[in-house]
């Protein structure tokens, strides 16, 4: 009877490389990910604080600018930096630093795509924009942590949608194979042609040798007697006064046999080759480990052209060694396999990194890929439009017929603004006050708020679309109720003059983001012939293009809303002209005029 090999406590996932070698990645646990998050949040806080202080000091000392203008520009920059750090820190670091934020680097964690490939910009964007769901409730990450604990691959919702995993990249110390054992004082036997113990039996004996000095004499003698009885066939040729003494001679002999590459008597077929592989190749593995550590610090370019060529050749040799060693160890949890797997996995991540993002790649993505996806996703976008404008029409009609109904739909502040609107319409002051010096602040605040609405509409799709529907319907009701209220007071033109310049782009962006959310919902509810996992990943890649397009539209719309819409002296015709111009440009963009594409090719939403 043999003892089972000790199972590792870490959770692993296996992927197959292009070289047809199976790699095992250690899944990062909640603890290490939490430590990394704390580090990253600390860095974000310090960066925002430093930027705020720096901007404040700079504009306070700047001469030649009106004080209010300086304050307006400073506030707008602070708002923009806070937003950029909140949503851009993780996306940019993971996309540009090959799956590692500073916190993950310190914890030796890395985000990789399923299959062990480097994370792309799109995958990074999907997994990190989904934080708006994972961080609930509030910012406690209860949803994310629960998902990590439930998932076999340690995935939060963002990882599921992006097709990514967070892996631990700690290297283990190379297994010692050439030195005699150090657990017993007896002299070692000369190497044999065959090892007497199986791998499981030797592991059991080795653990006893490592722990025996920490045991009290009585306990040590008891365990030694039990172990000697279990290993009696192998101990038959050894003599000694105590079981511990005979076990020591056996242990040293077995270590020497394995160091010399001897096979166990119990091994058959490929398993007989295991110790020979380790004994013959361990020095080469150690040399490659040093090269890998250097490449991880400096990048592959730091090795030089010849060095990279040698690195690739050695990687292929190690991948072959790993495949042979896995076969020889019969799939058991063997230290040498674990060590070699880490080397090959680390090299695999370096060699299969995606190429750097070029400006032309960004231009093609925004001018060709995004419009093409908007056309292809026409059905979910139209569904989002129906859920936005349908309730808007119903609420607007209800309030127009009975203005008292507005109290059920709108907050008190909006009701007060409508009352003041009658006075402002008579005096020609416009929809809201227009402090020109603070237009940059208004524009920046509007853009950042609306982009977060887009992110929410997209991310909420993972709730099978329920929260996306709620977001669209509630915003539609508010929109319709406001127009109905102003119409009931005879000042609808006042509101229209404010909304016209930016409304086309802003409302279209909300519908597009709702369509992105419905793509995620479709993957969960009607995946078709695909698995839900595969459908979620594929639709997530499509949805992030819609989010990018919506964000672009909101950037322009927010600028118009902050800089043009509040101007009171522009007549309604001018602002309607701006609205018409944005509609024409939007149509040209979606049709693909900017990218020179032909007629749109529709794809099913699922």
Dihedrals phi, psi of 110, to nearest 5 degrees:
-150, 140
In order, the DSSP letters of 194-229 are EESS-HHHHHHHHHHHHHGGGS-HHHHHHHHHHHHH
> Can you name the residues that pair with 26 across neighbouring β-strands?
12, 168
Q: Find, among 605, 509, 604, 488, the residue nearest to 556 by Cα.
A: 509
pLDDT tens per residue, range 562-578: 778 777 788 889 999 99
- With contact defined as beta carbons under 8 Å apart, do 334 and 199 qualify? yes
pLDDT at 140: 78
Tokens 């705020």 identify what position? 52
Whether residue 261 has pLDDT greater than 80: no
Which residue would you say has higher pLDDT here, 68 or 380? Answer: 380
Cα distances (angstroms) measured from residue 38 to each of 149, 304, 489: 19, 37, 52
pLDDT at 225: 81
Whether residue 403 has pLDDT greater than 90: no
- Number of helices (H), then strands (E), in the chain: 24, 6
Which residue would you say has higher pLDDT here, 119 or 446? Answer: 119
pLDDT tens per residue, range 489-524: 887 887 888 889 989 999 999 999 999 999 999 999
Whether residue 446 has pLDDT greater than 80: no
What 520-523 contacts at long range (C-beta under 8 Å, 24+ apart), as own/partner pairs, is 520/161, 520/458, 520/461, 520/462, 520/465, 521/461, 521/462, 521/463, 521/464, 521/465, 521/468, 522/380, 522/465, 522/605, 522/606, 523/606
Among 76-85, 96-105, 278-287, 380-389, the range with the most confident prediction by mean pLDDT is 380-389
When pLDDT is cut at 50, 70 and 90, the band that residue 145 belongs to is confident
Least reliable range by pLDDT among 111-115, 146-150, 206-210, 594-598: 594-598
Whether residue 157 has pLDDT greater than 80: yes
pLDDT at 1: 35
pLDDT at 596: 46
Mean pLDDT of the chain: 78
- With contact defined as beta carbons under 8 Å apart, do 179 and 241 qualify? no
Q: What is the mean pLDDT of residues 301-307?
A: 81
Whether residue 303 has pLDDT greater than 90: no
Q: What is the pTM of this model?
A: 0.72
Whether residue 367 has pLDDT greater than 70: yes
Q: What percentage of the chain has pLDDT greater than the value 90?
A: 26
Burial class (CB within 10 angstroms; exposed 0-12, middle 13-18, buried 19+) of 177 = middle
- With contact defined as beta carbons under 8 Å apart, do 519 and 458 qualify? no
16 token code pair: 């197959």
Tokens 């629960």 identify what position? 146
Which residue would you say has higher pLDDT here, 498 or 353? Answer: 498
Whether residue 582 has pLDDT greater than 70: yes
Least reliable range by pLDDT among 125-134, 180-189, 519-528: 180-189
pLDDT at 550: 94
pLDDT at 350: 77
Which residue would you say has higher pLDDT here, 333 or 314? Answer: 314
Whether residue 464 has pLDDT greater than 90: yes
Whether residue 368 has pLDDT greater than 60: yes
Interatomic CA distance for residues 109 and 105, integer angstroms = 6
Among 63-67, 481-485, 576-580, the range with the most confident prediction by mean pLDDT is 576-580
Whether residue 194 has pLDDT greater than 70: no
When pLDDT is cut at 50, 70 and 90, the band that residue 305 belongs to is confident
pLDDT at 381: 97
Q: Are strands 12-16 and 22-27 parallel, antiparallel or unpaired?
A: antiparallel
When pLDDT is cut at 50, 70 and 90, the band that residue 429 belongs to is low
What 454-457 contacts at long range (C-beta under 8 Å, 24+ apart), as own/partner pairs, is 454/509, 454/510, 454/512, 454/513, 454/547, 454/550, 454/551, 454/554, 455/87, 455/129, 455/132, 455/513, 455/547, 456/132, 457/384, 457/510, 457/513, 457/514, 457/516, 457/517
Q: What percentage of the chain has pLDDT greater than the value 70?
A: 76
Which residue would you say has higher pLDDT here, 558 or 10? Answer: 558
Q: What is the mean pLDDT of residues 213-227?
A: 79
pLDDT at 426: 58
pLDDT at 182: 43
Q: What is the mean pLDDT of residues 471-498?
A: 87
Which residue would you say has higher pLDDT here, 361 or 16? Answer: 361
Q: What is the mean pLDDT of residues 218-226?
A: 80
3-state DSSP helix/strand/coil percent for the chain, to nearest 5? 70, 5, 25
């Amino acid at each position: 009877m043999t003892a089972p090999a000790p199972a590792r406590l870490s959770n692993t996932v296996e992927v197959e490389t292009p070289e047809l070698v199976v790699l095992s990645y250690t899944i990062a646990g909640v603890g290490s990910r939490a430590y990394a998050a704390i580090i990253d949040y600390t860095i974000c806080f310090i960066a925002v604080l430093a930027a705020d202080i720096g901007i404040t000091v700079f504009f306070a000392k700047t001469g030649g600018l009106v004080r209010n203008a300086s304050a307006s520009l400073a506030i707008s920059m602070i708002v923009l930096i806070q937003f950029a750090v909140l949503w851009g820190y993780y996306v940019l670091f993971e996309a540009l630093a090959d799956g590692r934020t500073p916190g993950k680097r310190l914890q030796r964690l890395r985000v990789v795509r399923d299959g062990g490939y480097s994370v792309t910009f799109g995958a990074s964007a999907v997994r990190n924009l989904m934080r708006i769901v994972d961080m609930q409730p509030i910012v406690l990450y209860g949803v994310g942590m629960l998902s990590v604990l439930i998932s076999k691959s340690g995935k939060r919702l963002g990882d599921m949608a992006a097709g990514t995993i967070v892996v631990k990249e700690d290297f283990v110390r190379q297994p010692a194979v050439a030195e005699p054992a150090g657990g017993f004082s007896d002299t070692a036997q000369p190497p044999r042609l065959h090892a007497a113990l199986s791998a499981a039996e030797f592991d059991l004996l080795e653990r006893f040798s490592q722990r025996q000095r920490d045991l009290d004499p009585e306990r040590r003698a008891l365990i030694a007697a039990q172990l000697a009885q279990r290993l009696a066939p192998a101990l038959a040729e050894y003599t000694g006064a105590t079981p511990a003494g005979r076990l020591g001679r056996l242990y040293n002999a077995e270590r020497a046999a394995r160091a010399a590459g001897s096979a166990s008597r119990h091994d058959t077929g490929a398993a007989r080759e295991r110790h020979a592989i380790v004994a013959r190749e361990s020095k080469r593995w150690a040399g490659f480990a040093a090269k890998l550590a250097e490449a991880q610090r400096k990048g592959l370019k730091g090795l030089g052209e010849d060095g990279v060529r040698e690195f690739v050749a050695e990687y292929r040799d190690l991948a072959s060694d790993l495949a042979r060693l896995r076969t020889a160890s019969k799939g058991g949890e063997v230290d040498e396999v674990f060590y070699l797997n880490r080397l090959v996995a680390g090299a695999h991540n370096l060699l299969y990194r995606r190429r750097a993002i070029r400006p032309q790649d960004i231009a093609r993505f925004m001018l060709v890929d995004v419009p093409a996806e908007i056309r292809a996703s026409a059905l979910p976008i139209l569904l989002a439009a129906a859920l936005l404008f349908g309730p808007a029409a119903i609420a607007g009609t209800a309030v127009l017929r009975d203005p008292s109904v507005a109290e059920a739909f709108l907050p008190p502040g909006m009701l007060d603004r409508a009352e003041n609107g009658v006075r402002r319409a008579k005096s020609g002051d416009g929809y809201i006050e227009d402090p020109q010096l603070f237009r940059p602040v208004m524009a920046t605040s509007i853009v950042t708020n609306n982009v977060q609405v887009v992110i929410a509409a997209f991310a909420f799709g993972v709730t099978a679309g329920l929260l996306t529907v709620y977001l669209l319907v509630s915003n539609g009701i508010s929109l319709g109720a406001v127009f109905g209220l102003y119409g009931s007071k005879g000042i609808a033109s006042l509101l229209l003059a404010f909304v016209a310049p930016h409304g086309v782009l802003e409302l279209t962006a909300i519908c597009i983001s709702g369509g992105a959310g419905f793509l995620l919902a479709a993957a969960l509810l009607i995946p078709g012939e695909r698995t839900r996992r595969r459908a979620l990943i594929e639709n997530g890649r499509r949805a992030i293009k819609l989010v990018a397009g919506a964000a672009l539209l909101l950037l322009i719309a927010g600028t118009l809303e902050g800089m043009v819409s509040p101007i009171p002296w522009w007549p309604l015709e001018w602002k309607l002209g701006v609205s018409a111009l944005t509609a024409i440009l939007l149509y040209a963009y979606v049709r693909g005029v900017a990218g020179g594409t032909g007629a749109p090719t529709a794809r099913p939403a699922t």
